[in-house]
Homo-oligomer: A and B are copies of this chain.
Amino acid sequence: MKLKKLPNSTIIRLSLYSRYLTEVDRKELTLISSLDIAKGIGVNPASVRKDLSYCGDFGTKGVGYNVKDLRNHVIKILGLNSEWNVTLVGLGNLGLALSTYKGFQERGFVINRIFDTDSSKIGSISNGIQVFPAEQMVDILREKPSDIGIICVPMSVAQATADALVKSGIKAILNFAPVSLKVPPEVSLRNVDLAVNLEILTFNLSIEELTDSLIARSF
């Protein structure tokens, strides 16, 4: 009902809250205020309260939030109280790094299938995850579906990979290839473009020089 309308920015922050609350919980603190959370992750305290109240009344006026309760609740909202099966496509350097990434396991994400076109990679890798030939992907995933697909293939085959994942019935895709993929509306898609992130930084770095050259250029 109301949940469907959670702003995207709120969902991102909920994920940050859950991460932060896990950290706070480890320090054996039992209570936390919206101000503490806000300072901890660098946002406005009003945002924190608003975000949290979207999910129901979990705080106590004049007191704050119970760390464990709040953490459990946020984790439940994000769907992290159950395990998620993840399929990785493309076992290059980045794919390999992601397949062993501890941060995923800690949050309940289990990469349990890997697909690649390179026949020399087919078999079992160190991490214990089996590597299958990409041609068999649709069949294998139809037989035993995955929740999420991670695309780590070169950009030239990224759209075809996405199409295959969709065909296999996957409902969520995390894309690391630097292309804008087209997927049907019922499939959730997130893009992590590493170069784009660096380019935002260089924009900031070069504002001064740029301003000068722009002035020269446009008059």
Q: Is the CB of A42 within 8 A of B180?
A: yes
Given contacts A3-B214, A195-B107, A210-B79, contact A200 B205 (CB under 8 A): no
User: Does A141 touch B at the CB level, under 8 Å?
Assistant: no
A196 to chain B, nearest CB (A): 4
A62 to chain B, nearest CB (A): 21
- When chains A and B are docked, how far (Å) is the Cα of A106 from the Cα of B199? 12
- Which of A28-36, A129-137, A170-178 touches B? A170-178
Q: Is the CB of A198 within 8 A of B107?
A: yes
- Which of A44-52, A97-105, A115-123, A161-169 touches B? A97-105
Number of residues from A at the complex interface, CB < 8 A: 76
User: Does A76 touch B at the CB level, under 8 Å?
Assistant: yes
7 A-B pairs whose Cβ atoms sit less than 8 Å apart in the complex: A12-B200, A16-B193, A77-B203, A93-B101, A96-B97, A174-B197, A190-B201
Binding site for B on A (CB under 8 A): 1, 3-4, 6, 8, 11-12, 14-16, 18-20, 23, 40-42, 55-56, 76-80, 82, 84, 86, 92-94, 96-98, 100-101, 103-104, 106-107, 109, 147-148, 171-174, 178-180, 182, 188, 190, 192-207, 209-211, 213-215, 217-218
Beyond contacts A92-B97, A174-B197, A188-B200: 20 other A-B pairs, Cβ-Cβ < 8 A, are: A3-B211, A4-B211, A12-B196, A14-B203, A16-B180, A18-B199, A19-B195, A20-B180, A56-B217, A77-B203, A82-B206, A93-B97, A103-B195, A104-B194, A109-B198, A147-B202, A147-B205, A171-B205, A190-B200, A192-B194
